[in-house]
Amino acid sequence: MIFPWQNGLWERLRAYQARQPHALLIHGPAGIGKFALAEHFAQSLLCESPDPARAPCGECESCHWFAAGSHPDFRLVEPESLSLRLEDGEDLDEPAPSTGKTAKPSTEIKVDQVRALEGFLNLKSHRGGRRVALVHPAEDLNPSAANALLKGLEEPPSGALFLLVSHRPAKLPATIRSRCVAVPVPLPEPGASAAWLAQQGAKDAAPWLAYAAGAPLLALRYSQDSGEALARLREALRAGDRGALGAVSDRDQLEALAEVLHKHALDVAFASYCGAPKYGRAQASGNAIAWLRYARTAGRNRALARRPLNPRLFAGEMVGGMPER
């Protein structure tokens, strides 16, 4: 499946079916459907009865296997913590179902996962076509995994295709980026996003689309299950209730708090320097430089919030560092 705003991109990807590059880097902001686009492209390459537009038929044995997640010529490489998607579901991380283990699922792509591709890619295709490895999100490769992937990109097996999906391609090593054909995926036009959100029955679509910086899949998630928690945190922030902001009890809430504080700090800086916030409502501050510095720290905190930290202590540190008006 591709989304309505991706028709033009699909035409571009179709051209690569004939050129057959060994690696594509599909990149752009989170929440705009990159993973869905990459999966659709992978399925089209493996489909045994594609239509004239080179789209997968959805009816052949290959398409049935792909839909069931069991195609012998396709591998998906992603962190253990990813099991559900909204973009595709991409791009958006959802926790994996409980496996009974006490350890948290890894948020990195490990070297063993990449090394496992070597045997798959060097074998003959089961269906006489290509072998496709989809890595998502590519920036979650740990250093050892990135080095292992680089070896495969430098000496790609015949008939193999690497599809890398990235929300933050600048975090990838330059050596990996240079060995891929870049396929940038821009934000959809606001009108297209709004129309799609209306079709999905999203509530308060316009403000959530602004809060998602124009990413429709992220806005849809905000308008549904995660929106209530975000709304409570944003209301506490507007009321200046630092006690409520710091009362975080789990990692999911910690990530939401880090996001709210980061976007609020950016909005204060935008309102101060540009006259208008980007993500929601915020007033200009006479202490704009301090807010800009805090926004930089808050951006790092969003990444740290995924680590196994004590939620209450880290929440208190984040809230305590927030500048005064």
The verdict on 180 and 62 lying in the same domain is yes
Q: Which residues pair with 182 in a beta bridge?
A: 25
The verdict on 173 and 211 lying in the same domain is no
Give me 198's structure tokens: 């209306």
What distance in Å separates the CA atoms of residue 109 and residue 107, rounded to the nearest whole number?
Answer: 7
Place of tokens 């038929």: 57
**Its pTM surpasses 0.75:** yes
Q: Cis ω on the peptide bond leading into residue 89 (within 30° of 0)?
A: yes
The verdict on 105 and 234 lying in the same domain is no
Kindly give the confidence (pLDDT) of every residue in the chain, 325 residues in length, as a single tens digit, with 9 standing for 90 and above.
789 999 888 888 888 877 779 999 999 999 999 999 999 999 999 999 888 777 899 999 999 999 999 999 999 999 988 854 434 444 443 334 333 444 567 889 999 999 999 889 888 788 778 899 999 999 999 999 999 999 999 998 888 999 999 999 999 999 999 999 999 999 999 999 999 999 999 988 999 999 999 999 999 999 986 678 888 999 999 898 999 998 888 877 898 999 999 999 999 999 999 999 999 989 999 999 999 999 999 999 998 988 888 999 999 999 999 998 7
pLDDT of residue 97: 39
Q: Are 45 and 183 in contact (CB under 8 A)?
A: no
The verdict on 111 and 133 lying in the same domain is yes
Q: What does the chain come to in residues?
A: 325
The verdict on 84 and 174 lying in the same domain is yes
- One-character DSSP codes across 203-234: TTHHHHHHHTTT-HHHHHHHHTTTHHHHHHHH
Q: Are 6 and 183 in contact (CB under 8 A)?
A: no
The verdict on 68 and 81 lying in the same domain is yes
Exposure string of 224-261, with b = 16+ CB inside 10 Å and e = fewer, is eebbeebeebbebbeeeeeeebbbbeebebbbbbbbbb
pLDDT of residue 226: 67
Count of domains forming the chain: 3
The verdict on 38 and 165 lying in the same domain is yes
Read off φ and ψ for residue 221, nearest 5 degrees. -65, -45
Report CA 9 to chain centroid distance, whole Å.
18
pLDDT of residue 86: 36
The verdict on 43 and 177 lying in the same domain is yes
The verdict on 30 and 89 lying in the same domain is yes
Give me 193's structure tokens: 């996003």
Beta strands in 10-135 (DSSP E): 23-27, 74-77, 131-135
Q: Which of 166, 198, 225 is the last residue of a domain?
A: 225
Q: Look up the domain containing 210 and give its range.
A: 189-225
The verdict on 238 and 323 lying in the same domain is yes
The verdict on 45 and 111 lying in the same domain is yes
The verdict on 111 and 153 lying in the same domain is yes
User: What CATH number did the domain enclosing 26 receive?
Assistant: 3.40.50.300
Q: Which of 170, 197, 225 is the last residue of a domain?
A: 225
Q: Which of 176, 208, 225 is the last residue of a domain?
A: 225
pLDDT of residue 241: 93
Q: Are 213 and 29 in contact (CB under 8 A)?
A: yes
E strand or H helix at 181, and its extent?
strand 181-184
